[in-house]
Amino acid sequence: MISDEMAWPLVSGMRRRLGHTLSALTQVGDVHWVACPRSGVAAAPCVPSDLPISTTVVPAPDNNANRRMLNWLSGRRPWTLCGGDWGAAGAALADLHDNDFDLEWTAGFDSWLAARKAGVRSKKSILDLADIESAKLRSRLRAGVDKGPKGWLRRVMGFEDLRRWRALEQQAAQNIDAISVCSAEESLAMPGPTFVTTNSYADPGPTGEPRSATRLLFVGSLNYPPNLGGLEFFVREVFGALHQSDGSLTFRIVGRGLDPDHWLRHEPGVQVAEDVDDIGPEVAKATVAVVPLLWGGGTRLKIIEAFAFSTPVVSTTAGAEGLLAVHGESIVIADTATELLAACRRLLSDPAERLRLGSAGRMHYLQHFEAREVERALVARVEALLYDKP
């Protein structure tokens, strides 16, 4: 396994995906994990003691903006792949050249490209994509979120990056045994052999947490543009009106990465919680979880997490992509400010409907996203690839 992120503690969607994948791979064979965190911190990974995983941690820290721009202008890689300094990590991967692995699992394109450059050898190879970057970028361009003079430049670069991502995806499809994606929709968007590894969440069971009647919740990294853009839209266009109607209502934003002077921190009723070790109680206490994303890719673990805790969810179409959740059954879909406002007001005022929707979401989670079942399916898929089973 090669990744550009740590897995434990499981404090983000990407980390949960990595952690559950590593757990599944240990059921197939011995695992050596090379973690190349972009944070630049070479902390020892907190691998659970019951998982037989050997580890190497070599940071691949982000370059500064000027260096990234130079790399983008002079090369053929998309913007997000121009930032990491993989020099030390590449040397560590090159040390593995003499090993002949049964399977190479790379998490993301930067890890895959680094492994190719280092000459890592394996009988079979899988590239795992938490997002289809070309689809995510196309979603952003369609949403028209890049405005003004800087927005014009981002759009120009975005169209060029779209071309670069598609070329890279084609290259991967021709040089890898299988590509793992988050949903059936994303499988259709990728060339080459693909299979679905859904995002998953360990069953929390009954929590006993008292649920608030006046708390909206959003969970997610705040330096991820789709999350931040959706939050700004929701607070500006929706939550302000909700809070004016009921001053006791709070909007709890749980996640790291928000600038210290960002205006969201000063909005009435908005609470930003950054250093939360266990997100579970936050989800269990919430009245309604909101996912107001206007664009994005992959599947939202924040919705799967809310489903697991029987917390009712209001989401945009973009936020709920790939989760097979049906509007009015296990989730409420609302795309405009007017629709989001009406949906939140209806659920906040109707405890019985919140209970029904939360229970349906919980059943949907158990059918599709419970971690042990997802791991079993992944083990079967990997064994079929290794042993050439149909």
Q: Is it the case that residue 343 has pLDDT exceeding 90?
A: yes
E strand segments, the chain = 2-3, 31-35, 53-57, 100-107, 121-128, 178-181, 194-196, 215-219, 250-254, 270-273, 288-291, 313-315, 332-333
Q: Is it the case that residue 77 has pLDDT exceeding 90?
A: yes
390 pLDDT band, cuts 50/70/90, is: low
Share of the chain above pLDDT 70, in %: 98
9 preceded by cis ω (within 30°)? yes
Residues 195-222 as b/e (b if ≥16 CB within 10 A, e otherwise) read bbbbbbbbeeeeeeeebbeebbbbbbbb
Q: Is it the case that residue 275 has pLDDT exceeding 90?
A: no
Q: Tokens 């790379």 — which residue?
A: 106
Between 265 and 189, the higher pLDDT residue: 265
81 pLDDT band, cuts 50/70/90, is: very high
Q: How far apart are CA 19 and CA 51, in angstroms?
A: 10
- Max mean pLDDT range (207-216, 249-258, 271-280): 249-258
Share of the chain above pLDDT 90, in %: 77
Q: How long is the chain?
A: 390
Bridge partners of residue 195, in order along the sequence: 180
Quote the pLDDT of residue 371: 95
Q: Is it the case that residue 40 has pLDDT exceeding 70?
A: no
Q: How far apart are CA 20 and CA 32, in angstroms?
A: 15
Q: What is the mean pLDDT of residues 214-243?
A: 96
Between 68 and 44, the higher pLDDT residue: 68
Quote the pLDDT of residue 377: 96
Domains of the chain, start order: 2-200+371-386 (3.40.50.2000), 215-368 (3.40.50.2000)
> Average model confidence (pLDDT) for the chain?
93
Q: Is it the case that residue 98 has pLDDT exceeding 90?
A: no
Quote the pLDDT of residue 276: 87
11 pLDDT band, cuts 50/70/90, is: confident
Q: Is it the case that residue 388 has pLDDT exceeding 90?
A: no
Q: Where are the alpha helices (DSSP H) in 109-183?
A: 109-118, 133-143, 148-174
42 pLDDT band, cuts 50/70/90, is: low
